[in-house]
Structure 1
Amino acid sequence: MSRYAMLLAPSANRVYAAQAGRLSHAELRAFAPVLSGPLDDVAQTRLGGVEYLTFAAELSARDVAYLSNLSAAYALFERTPDDLLRPVELTPLDRYDSDLITIPKYAGKTNEQFTKLLLNLTLLASASAPRMLDGRLTVADPLCGRGTTLNQALMYGYDAIGVELDGKDVEAYKAFLQTWLKHKRLKHTAELVPVRRQGRRAARRLEVTLAASKDDHRAGAVQKVTVLHADTTELGGLLRAGCADVLVADLPYGVAHGSWSEEGGLSRRPLDLLERAVPQWMPLLRPGGALGLSWNTKVAKRELAEDILVANGLQLVAYGDLAHRVDQGIERDVVVARRPG
């Protein structure tokens, strides 16, 4: 069995960078079911004074392609018998330049590496995991903010669906994406239109189509982004059933962000939102689809979040310890669950 060492990418967020090795360890383990053989001896190892994620495996080209998408993957090396490092070329899915993810800067933006980690864990728990590299998948984020998860889905070549209550965030996302696409000279269309239900305006819908190249556009190989300016707890009839392979959401942390309660005020309790929203989200998931959530454990206990998901017919997926510190007021955790089928 060959031995490998993965160099992890630096992170602009120092707090997250300090925990990236432990989180990547759990993420690497999550890739095991889609690999052609087992992963052994997974560990965080210092080589030449630098920390690597080391493991033993027999990797095929497709296995390397999977692991190329590890959220913190920077470089992969095969360790020779005399413990030298031989580079292994990574082949990530990324269809666009990384600035699609890194340019947007705003208060409350989720760390890009963590966004990718949460999406990966959710994909790998779903029935779509074997198609991660070559399938036309759809990612939904029902609390999409200004679109970090949507943009990561685009990077993977997937379609994306978002829901956001704040109209300013929807407009900011439209402005950014259109500007970025024009700057990159990529063929696209973008339209923000009202959605009517029973003769009344129920929402606004942003529809964007884009192609990674002129050849893709000519061949009709376009990607689609749909963002609804709507309340995620009142989605009846606004999105078709079974429209998403996976659903990923970063719940309000209850510090700088909250969610509107039924009483009309701002609630700092993410579980209140989750309890009302999950029944709206469940019909969006295809059978075998998975849901991945992150939230602040300082304002919501993990057991209570899990109870809500189980009560709605989801099966929890065990990924080990993914809890980590974000800042003084936020300890973030992750839960992933799968819809049977």
Structure 2
Amino acid sequence: MHQYAILANPGHNRIYFDTALKIARLELEAITQAQGITIEAFGEDDLGLPASVSFTTSQPMDDAALKAIVASSIYYALFEVQADGLLRPIKAPQIYTFPNGMSQILKYVGKTNEQFTRLMINLALSACKTQSEQIRLVDPMCGKGTTLYEGMVRGFNVEGIEINTKWTQEIQAYMVKYLKTGKYKHKVTKSKRNGPDGKKVADCFSVDTAADKADFAAGKLQNFKLYPGDTRQANLLLKKNSCDILVSDLPYGVQHGNKNAKDEKLDRSALTLLEEAVPAWRHGLKPKGAMVISFNEFTMKWRDVAKVLQANGLTVLDEAPYTGYLHRVDQSINRNLIVAIKP
């Protein structure tokens, strides 16, 4: 048997409060299962670490499993627990292309925490079975871009849709400034997406870049696309069966809203928006691709979200380690998430 311990990121407890360790264990189970490794048991011993999770496996973790563990939202440092109780540090493999700061620099009211975003991405990757060489991530309600930046940090191609044009302008300005400041080679192109009738649906802001100059020269690129448009028209913006994972933080009905098609007022019904948008989202998802969306249980329930996804031909993962993530954010937000795959 092999025992490991993860020193928790200092911000982990602050996000999930009393459910922090439970959520961390579920995420680790999903990650290791996807790598073909089974966690036999979680440790209860005090290892002398400030906040940590320890677990036992029947086989040692290979490089792929270590990379997945290092990408977990709880990760701060990894150790192998020796027979005498001593902790042997394990050097973290390099998993990022761009620096983590890409997603962490921006601070604003209503921002989804980067660690929670990373959790959702990890669950989507664990459920995804597309076997793509390079993952393409889409956030069809990308807000100010946290999920997109997290995807870029991980080496993915990313696409985002956001109806708030002020936010999409901020994303474009930030992305270009970040790449220029960091002296990253990049090429910006702008185009438009038309509907079947030939009328413009949305503009498209696209950046091809690479964290390494040699990779850019060799054409080993990451692509960043952004559409200022209506998520319910995602089928007109995304290529069919083009995205491996869809990750999005739905409107909570507190800081967020969605525009109603009949008028320009904010519609607080997130469930109505979901019912209208999921068919378009499904269009862009590859077969065996995975969808992870988070939402406020005070405005809609997990079972209602599951019904919408199932009605659109998606398979909802309704057992651990893909369930059990309900946690309090504040007095008005009780956040949960749901994982589904496209058959």
Question: What TM-score, normalized to structure 1?
Answer: 0.93
How far residue 62 of structure 1 moved from its aligned partner, in angstroms, is 2.5
SS of structure 2 residue aligned to 1:275: helix
Q: In the aligned structure 2, how far is the partner of 1:187 from the partner of 1:19?
A: 42
**Is the CA contact (8 Å cut-off) linking 1:11 and 1:17 kept in structure 2?**
no
- Aligned alpha-carbon RMSD (Å): 1.8
Q: What is the correspondence of 1:114-153 to structure 2 with a 5 Å cutoff?
A: 114-128=116-130, 135-153=133-151
* Structure 1 residues 241 and 108: CA distance shift in structure 2, 3 A: same
**Is the CA contact (8 Å cut-off) linking 1:64 and 1:90 kept in structure 2?**
yes
Gaps of at least 5 residues in structure 2 are none
**Is the CA contact (8 Å cut-off) linking 1:71 and 1:113 kept in structure 2?**
yes
SS of structure 2 residue aligned to 1:335: strand
Q: In the aligned structure 1, how far is the partner of 2:251 from the partner of 2:156?
A: 25
* Structure 1 residues 241 and 36: CA distance shift in structure 2, 3 A: closer
Question: What TM-score, normalized to structure 2?
Answer: 0.93
How far residue 263 of structure 1 moved from its aligned partner, in angstroms, is 3.4
Aligned to 1:177: 175
Q: In the aligned structure 1, how far is the partner of 2:214 from the partner of 2:49?
A: 46
* Structure 1 residues 253 and 43: CA distance shift in structure 2, 3 A: farther
Asked if 1:200 corresponds to 2:199, the answer is yes
Report Cα offsets for 1:212-249 as digits up to 9, x if no partner.
11100111001101111110112343221011011111
**Is the CA contact (8 Å cut-off) linking 1:68 and 1:90 kept in structure 2?**
yes
Q: What is the correspondence of 1:210-249 to structure 2 with a 5 Å cutoff?
A: 210-249=209-248
Deviates more, 1:6-15 or 1:231-240: 6-15
Could you tell me which amino acid in structure 2 is paired with residue 315 of structure 1? Answer: T
SS of structure 1 residue aligned to 2:118: helix
* Structure 1 residues 200 and 23: CA distance shift in structure 2, 3 A: same
Asked if 1:40 corresponds to 2:40, the answer is yes
Could you tell me which amino acid in structure 2 is paired with residue 138 of structure 1? Answer: R
**Is the CA contact (8 Å cut-off) linking 2:12 and 2:115 kept in structure 1?**
no
**Is the CA contact (8 Å cut-off) linking 1:255 and 1:329 kept in structure 2?**
yes
Aligned to 1:89: 91
Deviates more, 1:166-175 or 1:260-269: 260-269
Q: In the aligned structure 2, how far is the partner of 1:219 from the partner of 1:49?
A: 44
How far residue 18 of structure 1 moved from its aligned partner, in angstroms, is 5.3
Q: What is the correspondence of 1:1-341 to structure 2 with a 5 Å cutoff?
A: 1-11=1-11, 14-16=14-16, 19-43=19-43, 46-48=46-48, 50-57=50-57, 58-128=60-130, 135-197=133-195, 198-264=197-263, 265-317=265-317, 318=319, 319-340=322-343
* Structure 1 residues 330 and 92: CA distance shift in structure 2, 3 A: farther
How far residue 49 of structure 1 moved from its aligned partner, in angstroms, is 5.7
**Is the CA contact (8 Å cut-off) linking 2:202 and 2:229 kept in structure 1?**
yes
Q: In the aligned structure 1, how far is the partner of 2:181 from the partner of 2:37?
A: 43
Q: In the aligned structure 1, how far is the partner of 2:207 from the partner of 2:18?
A: 37
Q: In the aligned structure 2, how far is the partner of 1:12 from the partner of 1:105?
A: 18
Q: In the aligned structure 1, how far is the partner of 2:288 from the partner of 2:193?
A: 30
Q: In the aligned structure 2, how far is the partner of 1:310 from the partner of 1:208?
A: 35
